[in-house]
Structures are given as structure tokens and as C-alpha cells.
Amino acid sequence: MLDFTQNTALFEPLVLPNGQIIPNRIAKAAMEENMADAAHLPGAALRALYQRWGEGGAGMILTGNVMVAADAVTGPGGVVLDAGQPLAPFREWASVGKAHGARMWMQINHPGRQVYVATSPTAIAPSAVPVEIEGYSKLFAQPRAMTGADITRVIAQFAETAELAQKAGFDGVEIHAAHGYLLSQFLSPRTNRRDDEWGGTLENRARILIEIIRTTRARVAPEFGLGVKLNSADFQKGGFDAEDAVAVVRLLNNEAVDLVEISGGSYESPAMQGRAQNPGTRVREAYFLDFARDIVAVAEMPVMVTGGIRRRATARQALTPEDGRPGVAMIGIAQAMAYAPDLPERWQKAEAAIDVPAVHWKSRPLSGLATMAMTKTQLHRMGAGKAPTKDVWAPWALLRDQIRSRRRNRQYRDWLSKRGNV
């Protein structure tokens, strides 16, 4: 078995279990851009954005959410890849991301119950448990419990999207089983209250993830990368916890998984934004590193940690064993690369700390939305060929994002109707 826990420099290559080589240990982690064109394809804006990241020196570039089902998206303006979509725009997307040597992986996802009612009035979930956010619950669709046929369909959709991603020239896919989306909902006893083979025990709750991995692996080449994004915990009472995460990784050890990314939280408890993190983790950086070290101790594949990393020293620390606990194999950077798309290249030369603005209003959900809107402002600027800027007023960014979302919601419903999905 390969040892992925040794002290390793940031700019040394990583050989995955399937033989794929990642040029260095830094990944541009996934962010939700909502920048697809009117046909929910990666157009000029996304190509320009990923060109900037491709030039920035990361060894791996993970796309933002790509939806496996056209009628289930995390938000308006999301990219959809299924058999009804042309592959040419995806080939162009992969090409610009890979042009400077990075590996380009596609994050594939299904939102489950985390669907805004303004986007779609219907949603599916393991059980009919609605999203509960004080003052904002009505913004989300009321989910219905999935049938066995629904589950079979979703498994096939993930595998189909992965196969199409390979045909389009991507180097791998990451199955999103974190942040409260559908597969995370299956894993959590708070949201999975089923009493059939898809619920109850952790093994049953993880069954859909395992089936997706197996079905996907059967449809792609051995050298095509397959990763899983997993919560360290939901940070909610009675939810998916750190012991569950370790147990799921033990199950993944038996599957052909090349990389596990550790994050945490959901819409209800947005720990991925630096909120609700365990007091034992670092306050401002590497939110989930302590959890990740526990995962590395049992994982037989490389582990990547994402969440709040902004300094080279922190990234190096994450790779380094500490107090007898192993380091991770890769680090993922999200928001910091919205403000500094060339951060890995800067780190090759010297330390470069990036201050990512955050909003701390009385309303935590509203603060989270405003912080995300400020980040999206940077993504849109780069998609338009402009440089990022810190000169962004949070209320204006949030207002502009809401206006854009309303317009994109109308476009999405029109597009879906023309496809015959509604």
C-alpha cells in the first residue's frame, strides 16, 4: 500500500492509487459559481475564469457543482451535464483548465432537498425532512421521500455524468457527498429516516454512495480519477459526526477511490464558511484539519483537506505529521483563490497571505449569503477578464447577486420547460 501520510513538500507530485500524477499538492477547491450560459453549459465566462486558475499554478482544479440531473440544481446558473447536453463546451472547459499542466476534475452533485423554491418548487430527499433555517426555511422546496426507482435513477445519473466528463477530456470526477446535498442527506440520521435497505445503519445510509462509486467505476477507464467529498461532521445534534466519517472512509477503503476530500457543514450549519467549527480546530484557517488527520489515520487513499487555508505556512503544516498524527496528502483552496487566482504560483516564490473578506452581521444566514456574494463578485470579474478586487461593498454585492438569481431562475425554468422536464 502506498504511504500518503509522509512529510511532503507542497510542490512535490502526488501519485494517486490509479497511477494518475497530480503535479503538486495544491488543489483549487470547488466553489459554486452559478456562471453557466443560458443553456446551462460552460460558456465564455467560465472558460475565462478557469483559464485564470489554470495559469495560477495549482496541481488540480476542481470545478464547481456540475448537476447530474437537469431538474435538480443547487441554484440558478448552474452547469448541467447529462445526455441531453452537447460535449463540445465541456471539452473547451477542460482544455483551458489543463492547458498549463493542472489536472482538471469535475465535481458532480445532486442537491436533494437543498433546492430554493424560486428555482424549483419540487425536491427529492431520502426522507421528507425540510431544510430548517430560522427565518429562511420557506425559501426552500418541501422535499418528498425518494422511491426505490428515484434512487436507482440518481445512481445512474451520477455514473452517466462521470462517463460524459471523461469523454469531454476531464481527468476525473469528485462525487459530492458533503455540505448537506443529497448524498450527505443519505449519510445523516437527521435527514435519512428510512427503514429500508437505504436507511437505518450507517452501512445502509452509505449504500447509495457505494453504489454510485461502483457503477461509475464500471463506466470509466481505470486511469480516470474518482474522488469523494465527505463531511467531517454536520455540526448538528443527532447528525453525521466525526465517528461516522471515519467509518465511511473505512467503507471507501474497499472501493476504487483515488482521493477523499474532507470538509464539513451544510446550509443549516455552514461550517465550510468558518462557522460552527469544532473549538479544537484552528479558528481562522484549516477549519477541518484536526478531523482530517483522524481520517488520514484510517484511509488507504490520499486525503485532501479544504476550508479556510490562506497561508503557505498553514498549507505546509497540514501536510506535516503533528503530535504523532499524520499529515494530509493535499490541501484545497477555495475562497482565497477567488481573490488570488495565482496563489500557488506566489507560494512557489515566497509566503503570500490572502485576507478574505467576511461579513459578520447579526443574522448568520444573511452573513453567509453576503460573504458568498462577495466571493461570486470576484468570480464574475475574472469571467469578464477583470482582476479581483477587495473594494466590494457587501450589501451591494448581495443585492446584485439576488437580482441576478431572480433573472437566472426565470431562464432556468424556461430552459427546463423547453427540454420537456416540466
**What's the number of domains the chain is made of?**
1
Which domain does 158 fall in, by range?
A: 14-357
Residue 378: CB atoms within 10 Å: 26
> Considering the domain boundaries, does residue 419 fall inside one?
no
Above pLDDT 90, what percent of the chain? 78
What is the pLDDT at residue 407?
A: 96
Burial zone of 358 (CB within 10 Å; 0-12 exposed, 13-18 middle, 19+ buried): middle
What is the pLDDT at residue 140?
A: 92
Interhelix angle 148-167/207-219, nearest 10 degrees: 40
What is the pLDDT at residue 13?
A: 96
pLDDT per residue as tens digits for the range 284-312? 466 688 889 999 999 999 999 998 899 99
What is the pLDDT at residue 284?
A: 46
Annotate 181-218 with DSSP letters as a single string: SHHHHHH-TTT----STTSSSHHHHTHHHHHHHHHHHH
The pTM of the full predicted model, rounded to 2 decimals, is 0.93
Element (H, E) at 306: strand 303-306
What is the pLDDT at residue 54?
A: 97
What is the pLDDT at residue 271?
A: 43
> Considering the domain boundaries, does residue 404 fall inside one?
no
Higher per-residue confidence, 260 vs 277: 260
> Considering the domain boundaries, does residue 104 fall inside one?
yes
In contact, 54 and 100? CB cutoff 8 Å:
yes
Has residue 393 got a pLDDT over 70?
yes
Residues 6+ away with beta carbon under 8 Å from 179: 229, 231, 263, 265, 266, 267, 272
The CATH number given to whatever domain includes residue 214 is: 3.20.20.70
pLDDT per residue as tens digits for the range 237-273? 667 888 999 999 999 999 999 999 998 665 655 544 4
What is the pLDDT at residue 4?
A: 64
- Specify which residues 104 forms β-bridges with: 61
pLDDT per residue as tens digits for the range 31-65? 999 999 999 999 999 999 999 999 999 999 999 99
Task: For residues 310-338, give the mean pLDDT.
Answer: 93
Q: b/e map of 128-145 (b: 16 or more CB within 10 Å)?
A: ebebebeeeeeebbbbee
Residue ranges of alpha helices (H) inside 257-363 are: 289-296, 312-319, 336-339, 343-349
Task: For residues 87-113, give the mean pLDDT.
Answer: 98
Residues 6+ away with beta carbon under 8 Å from 391: none
Task: For residues 383-400, give the mean pLDDT.
Answer: 95
What is the pLDDT at residue 136?
A: 82
> Considering the domain boundaries, does residue 158 fall inside one?
yes
Task: For residues 307-331, give the mean pLDDT.
Answer: 92
Extract the C-alpha cell encoding 371: 460573504
> Considering the domain boundaries, does residue 336 fall inside one?
yes
C-alpha–C-alpha distance, residues 267 and 383, integer Å: 26
Has residue 384 got a pLDDT over 90?
yes
pLDDT per residue as tens digits for the range 368-383? 889 999 999 999 999 9
